[in-house]
Structure 1
Amino acid sequence: MSQRAERRAVVVAATPTPNGDLHIGHMAGPYLAGDVYSRYLAADGRDVIYTTCTDDSQTYVTTTARRLGVPPEQLCATSTAQIERTITAMGLSMEGLPPVDDRYRATVLEFFTRLHTAGRLRERTVRLPYAEKTGRYLYDGLMTGHCPVCLTGSSGGVCEGCGHPNNADELIGPQSVLEPASPVSTREATILVLPMEEYRERLTAYFAERLARWRPHAAQLVRELLARPLPEIPVTVPGDWGIEAPFAETPGQILYPWVEAMPAVMYSTWWSAARRGEVAGSVDELWRADSDTQLVYFHGFDNVYHWGLMDLVLLMAHGDRYVLPEANISNEFYDLEGEKFSTSRNHLIWSADLLAEVPRDLVRFYLALTAPEFQRTNFSTAALTEVTTRRLTEPWNRLADSLDAIAPAGSAGPLPTTAVGRARAAALIERFRLTYELEAFSLGRSAENITAALDRLASAAPAVRAGDDALAAGDLLLQVRALLACAAPLLVDTAAEATAAGVDLALDAEQPEKITPFALPRLPQAARAGTGSTEVAA
C-alpha cells in the first residue's frame, strides 16, 4: 500500500447555520463537492471521514427566529432535523449531524481555554455598533450596512460580495436588523481577540506552499488580505445567544460565533469516527499533527476569510498541535432562473423538494454539470430535464441495451481483454483522476468527462458482437466498467446497484485480463416538469 493510501483523510464541508433547510444553491456548492471528493478517495482505497456540524450560535438563527416568530432553540431543532434529512436524501457520505450537546460545548471551551492559558489571547477595548433603544451590541447578522471595501450592501462580519471582513465599527451606516427603527451609535467594550498579524510569517509560508491549489477568486482575496494589516479575530463579544465565555476579563460575554467552527468540526470528526466504531483517546485526536491526517475544506467564497484565514490562525495559535488544511475548495454563488436565491422572497428550491421529484443521480449529475466553481452559474428547471435526458439518460440506456445484446449478464463466462483495451480503461480512469484530485478538482469537468466517455462508448457498442469478436466485447466491457467506477462518486444509486450485482468499482485495482459480463444499471428519466428559463446549453 502506498504512503498516500495509508493516510487518513478528513473532509469538512462548511458548517450549515440551522435557520432553515439546505436549498439547491447550498447543495451545488460545498456539500456535493465534498461528498464527491470523499467518495473518490474511498474508491481509491483511502480511509476518509466526511463531516460537518450545525452552527447553532450564529446570529442568523436569532434574526430568522424573530422573523418567523419562534424561539431560536425551536428553530435550531427543526432546521437541524431538516438539514439531516436533506443530507440523507442527497446521499452524502456523512455519518450524520452530531448533537450540539454538553460534549460539544466542552470541546469548544477546552479549545479556547487552552489558548487563553497559553497567553495567545489579548484584551482589546473596541467600539461596537450599539442599538440605543434596546441596549444591544451589534455584530454579524444583527446588523446591515455597506462594506467599507467594495461599498455594496453587507451584513456585519464579512461582506458576501468581496469577501473582506468588517469587524467592530467598520461597517458603513450600520442598522439594527432586530430593531430597524433604533438609532445606532458606537460604544466601547472590552473583548478578547486573537491578533492575526502575529501569525503573518507562518501564514505567508503556508500560502506560498498551498495557494496554487486554490481557485483564482479565492486566491485573489487571500493576496488582498495579506497585502494589508491583518485584522484581529474577536474571540468574545457582548451577546446573549451562544456559548458563555469562561474568562474573567470578559464577564457576561459569549464566544464569537464564527470562532466555534474549528473545535466544532474536530468534535464532529470524533463523533463520526465513534459512529463507525472507532475509539479515540481525545476529541481532537484525528486533528493532531502526529496523526498525519489529510485535511480538506469545502466552502463558499463568502467563507474564504473564515475558513481560509481566521480558522487557519486558530489552528496555528495552538503551536504545532494540529494539522493544517492541505486545500480549501471554494465555490461561487448558484442562481435560480437567473436571480439570486432568496428565502424572504421564496425564490428558491429546497433540495429535499427537488429530490422528491427527480431521481437522486440525475440531480447530482446536473448540479455537478452546472456547479458554480469559478463564476456564478444558473439552475433551470427546464434544463434539468432536457440536459439530463439528452446528455446522460438516453446515451447511458442505449449503452446498457447494447451490452445486454453483446454479452448478457450471467449468460457467458469471462471474456478476454487486450492490452489495448486495458490501456484505454486505465487512460479513462486517469482522465477522471485529473478532475477529482485537489490540484484541479472540478465537479463540472467530472460530469463532462462522463458525457464524453458515454458518447464514445455508446456509439462504438453497436458494432461489437461477443460471438464474432470476444476480445472487442471484453475491451468494451472493461471500459464501461471503468466509466461506471469513475462516475460512481456522482451517480451513487447506479453505483450501488452495480456493486450489489458484484461489479468491482475500485479505482485502485489493476485492469484484468478477463472480465465477467455484467448489466449496466439503467438510469430513470427526470420526472420534474420544466418551467421558467429555457437555457439548456449545458
Structure 2
Amino acid sequence: MSRRTLIISPAPTANGDLHLGHLAGPFLGADVYARWLRATGREVLLASGFQDTSSYVVTTARRLGTTPQDLVTSSGEQIEGTLAAAGIAVDGFTGDEDAFVKTVRRFLEDLHAGGALELRTLLFPYSPATGEYLVDGFVRGGCPVCLADGCAGLCESCGNPVAPGDLLEPRSTLDENDPVELRPAQVFVLPLERYREGIRAHFAEHGRAMRPHMAQALQEMLSRPLPDYPVTYPVSWGIPAPFPEVAGQVVNPNAEPAAWSIYCAQLSARNRGLDVTEDELWLTGAGTRVVYFLGFDNIYPFAVAMVGMLLAAKGRYLLPEEFVTNEFYELENAKFSTSRRHLIWGRDLVAEVPRDVARFHLAATSPESQRTDFTRAALERVTSARLIGPWNRVAEKVDAFTGRGALPVSARSREAAARIVKRFAAGYELEYFSLTRIAETLGEQLGRLEDWDVAPGQEGDFCHQVDVIARCGAPLLIDLAAGALADLSIPTGEGPAEITPVPLPRLSGTVAG
C-alpha cells in the first residue's frame, strides 16, 4: 500500500498578492503533482497559506501608507483568491490564526525543554536614532558569501543564510539616511553545527528529485561548519517568543517552518475529513512522505535549518524526503518586483485568458533549473501553436465520429496508450518531475493526433488515444478535463476494447494588451 504524500508549498509573505513568478514556480508544480497522484490512486494532501510574521510586511505597509495588520488581512484574502482562480487546489490554507501561533510556541518550547536551544550574544545592525535593531527586511547590504546586494536573513542569489550582523556595509531600509551601527543582543539560537552530519546523511539517502542548483548549494553549505541559527530576534513584529530569558523578543520567521509544516499538515488532513492529532502525520513511523515545492532562495530555512530542528527533537519527527526547487521567473528579462510594479498578478492573467491556457504556458516556461521569461507575445504564440490550435482540430475530428455508438479499439492502440501513459509519467513522477516536459509531451501528442489521417476502421483507435491524452493532461488542463472526461483516472491494464466518442469542448485564447 502506498504511503500518504504531504505536499507543501511554503507560505508567501502577506505583503501583496501572488504574481506569475509565484504561480510558475512552486504553486503550479505542487498542484499538478498532487492531481497526478490522485489520478493514479494515491492519497495526497496539499498545503500552503500565507506568512504574516515577516519584516517585509512592515516595510511594505510603510511604503503603501497602511498598517501591517490591514496589509496582512487584504493580502491573505488576495493570495487565497488567486490560488483558487488559478486552479491551485490547496487542502489546507494557513494564516495568522491562534492555533498556528500556539503550534509554533509549543514546538519551540519543547526544543527548549529538551536542551536544543541556547542563549548566544550576536551582533545586529542597530539604529541609534530609533533605538531599534534591524533584521531581515529592515536592513540591506552585501551578501558575505557571494557579495550580491540584498536584505539580511537569506541571500536570494546564492541561497546562503545572511546573519544580520554579517551584512557588508549595512544600511536601513526604513530610512536610507539613518546611520547604522552594530550592537550585541542576546538571543536564543539552534546550534546547527551539531546536526550538520545528520543533515548531510539525510540528503545522501534522499533527494532524488533535487535539481542541480540545490544540490550544489547544499554541498557548499554542508561542507563547512554551520552557523548558529537565530530562533528569536530582538524586534517587535512577529510571534512573541515564549522564553522569559528574551522577554520582548519575537520568533525569527525563518525559524517557523517546522512548526508551520506540522500545523498545515493537520489542517489539510482535517479539511479532507481525517481525524488526526496536532502532529500525528509528522511522527516517526507515521508513514507520511513529505515533499516540498519551493523557490531556490528558501532551501536554507526549509532544507537545512528545519531539518536541523526536526533532528533536535530527538527522533520524534520524520524528515522531509524530497525538495523540488525552481529559479526566478522573469518578466521581459527582469525579475518580478512588487516594489517597482514590474509584475503581472496571477489573477489578472487568468482573467485575460482561460486558466488552462495560462497554466499550460506557465508550465511550458517554468523556471525549473534556470531563469525563464514571460511575455504576452510568447504566451499567444506558444499556446496557439502547441495547445489551442492542435486541440481544437483534434476535437473536430472526434466530433465527426460521435453518434456512431461504441467503436472498436485495437490491441495496437491499447499498446500505444500504454506508451503514452509511460511518457507522461516520466514527467509527472517525482524523481524527474518537470512541468516543461509535461507541457512538451502534451504538445507532441496533440501534434501527432492532429496529423493523423484517420483511415476507415481507425476511428475507435483515434478516439481512444485522444481520451488517454486528455486524461494524462488533466492535472495541467483542469477545466478542459472537467468538460471532456467523466472521471480523471489514468488508464491502467490492457485498456478498453471499445470506446463511445462524445463531443469535446474547445479552447480559446485571446491575449489582451
* TM-score, length basis structure 1: 0.93
Match of 2:332 among 316, 324, 337: 337
Q: Deviations over 1:65-117 (max 9, x none)?
A: 11111110000000000001101100111135234221111111111111011
Match of 2:125 among 105, 117, 129: 129
Aligned residue for 2:293?
298
**Cα distance in 2 between the residues matched to 1:261 and 1:155:** 19
Mapped pair 1:395 → 2:390:
yes
Aligned residue for 1:518?
501
**Cα distance in 2 between the residues matched to 1:521 and 1:376:** 36
**Cα distance in 1 between the residues matched to 2:221 and 2:504:** 49
Mapped pair 1:433 → 2:418:
no
The structural deviation recorded for 1:512 is 2.4
CA contact (8 A) 1:53 1:265 kept: no
**Cα distance in 2 between the residues matched to 1:521 and 1:167:** 56
Aligned residue for 1:221?
217
Mapped pair 1:106 → 2:140:
no
Distance 1:455 1:348, change over 3 A: same
Mapped pair 1:187 → 2:183:
yes
Match of 1:203 among 199, 203, 223: 199
What is the DSSP-based 3-state SS (H/G/I as helix, E as strand, rest coil) of the residue aligned with 1:375? coil
Mapped pair 1:463 → 2:457:
no
Q: Deviations over 1:431-487 (max 9, x none)?
A: 111111111110001000000111111211x423xxx31xx2222222211111110
Q: Deviations over 1:481-533 (max 9, x none)?
A: 1111110110000111123xx2x431253342323323363332212236xxx
**Cα distance in 2 between the residues matched to 1:319 and 1:474:** 59
Report the residue type matching 2:411 in the other structure: A
Aligned residue for 2:153?
157
**Cα distance in 2 between the residues matched to 1:343 and 1:140:** 17
Aligned residue for 1:449?
441
CA contact (8 A) 1:358 1:528 kept: yes
CA contact (8 A) 1:53 1:264 kept: no
Q: Deviations over 1:239-259 (max 9, x none)?
A: 101111111221111111111
CA contact (8 A) 2:352 2:512 kept: no
Q: Give matches, 1:160-309, under 5 Å.
A: 160-280=156-276, 282-309=277-304
Mapped pair 1:484 → 2:467:
no
Aligned residue for 2:360?
365
**Cα distance in 2 between the residues matched to 1:163 and 1:335:** 18
The structural deviation recorded for 1:285 is 1.2
Distance 1:508 1:525, change over 3 A: closer
Mapped pair 1:143 → 2:135:
no
What is the DSSP-based 3-state SS (H/G/I as helix, E as strand, rest coil) of the residue aligned with 1:290? coil
CA contact (8 A) 1:147 1:159 kept: yes
What is the DSSP-based 3-state SS (H/G/I as helix, E as strand, rest coil) of the residue aligned with 1:51? strand
Match of 1:507 among 490, 493, 496: 490
**Cα distance in 2 between the residues matched to 1:178 and 1:23:** 24
**Cα distance in 2 between the residues matched to 1:513 and 1:388:** 31
Q: Deviations over 1:393-414 (max 9, x none)?
A: 1111111111111x20xx2333
What is the DSSP-based 3-state SS (H/G/I as helix, E as strand, rest coil) of the residue aligned with 1:128? strand
**Range moving further from structure 2, 151-160 or 91-100:** 91-100
**Range moving further from structure 2, 26-35 or 247-256:** 247-256
CA contact (8 A) 1:131 1:179 kept: no
CA contact (8 A) 2:325 2:368 kept: yes
* TM-score, length basis structure 2: 0.97
Report the residue type matching 1:354 in the other structure: L
Unaligned runs of 5+ in 2: none
Aligned residue for 1:534?
none
The structural deviation recorded for 1:180 is 2.0
Match of 1:27 among 12, 18, 23: 23
CA contact (8 A) 2:17 2:75 kept: yes
**Cα distance in 2 between the residues matched to 1:313 and 1:416:** 58
CA contact (8 A) 1:301 1:332 kept: yes
**Cα distance in 1 between the residues matched to 2:139 and 2:329:** 24
What is the DSSP-based 3-state SS (H/G/I as helix, E as strand, rest coil) of the residue aligned with 2:285? helix
The structural deviation recorded for 1:202 is 1.1
**Cα distance in 1 between the residues matched to 2:397 and 2:431:** 36
Report the residue type matching 2:434 in the other structure: S
CA contact (8 A) 2:125 2:133 kept: yes
Q: Deviations over 1:107-163 (max 9, x none)?
A: 111111110111111111111111111111111111000111111111101111111
**Cα distance in 1 between the residues matched to 2:161 and 2:447:** 47
Mapped pair 1:316 → 2:311:
yes
Distance 1:332 1:523, change over 3 A: farther
CA contact (8 A) 2:386 2:443 kept: yes
**Cα distance in 1 between the residues matched to 2:288 and 2:404:** 45
CA contact (8 A) 1:55 1:261 kept: no
**Cα distance in 2 between the residues matched to 1:318 and 1:348:** 41
CA contact (8 A) 1:45 1:508 kept: no
Mapped pair 1:376 → 2:368:
no
Report the residue type matching 2:286 in the other structure: S
What is the DSSP-based 3-state SS (H/G/I as helix, E as strand, rest coil) of the residue aligned with 2:94? coil
**Cα distance in 2 between the residues matched to 1:190 and 1:99:** 29
Q: Deviations over 1:266-324 (max 9, x none)?
A: 212212222222221x2211122221111100111111112221111122211222221
Match of 1:13 among 9, 13, 17: 9
What is the DSSP-based 3-state SS (H/G/I as helix, E as strand, rest coil) of the residue aligned with 1:362? helix
The structural deviation recorded for 1:212 is 4.0
CA contact (8 A) 2:454 2:462 kept: no
Unaligned runs of 5+ in 1: 531-538
Report the residue type matching 2:372 in the other structure: T
Report the residue type matching 1:419 in the other structure: A
The structural deviation recorded for 1:213 is 2.5
**Cα distance in 1 between the residues matched to 2:64 and 2:390:** 47
CA contact (8 A) 2:140 2:170 kept: yes
**Range moving further from structure 2, 69-78 or 512-521:** 512-521
What is the DSSP-based 3-state SS (H/G/I as helix, E as strand, rest coil) of the residue aligned with 2:359? helix
**Cα distance in 1 between the residues matched to 2:208 and 2:93:** 32
Aligned residue for 1:418?
410
**Cα distance in 1 between the residues matched to 2:48 and 2:103:** 15
* Identical residues among aligned pairs (%): 45
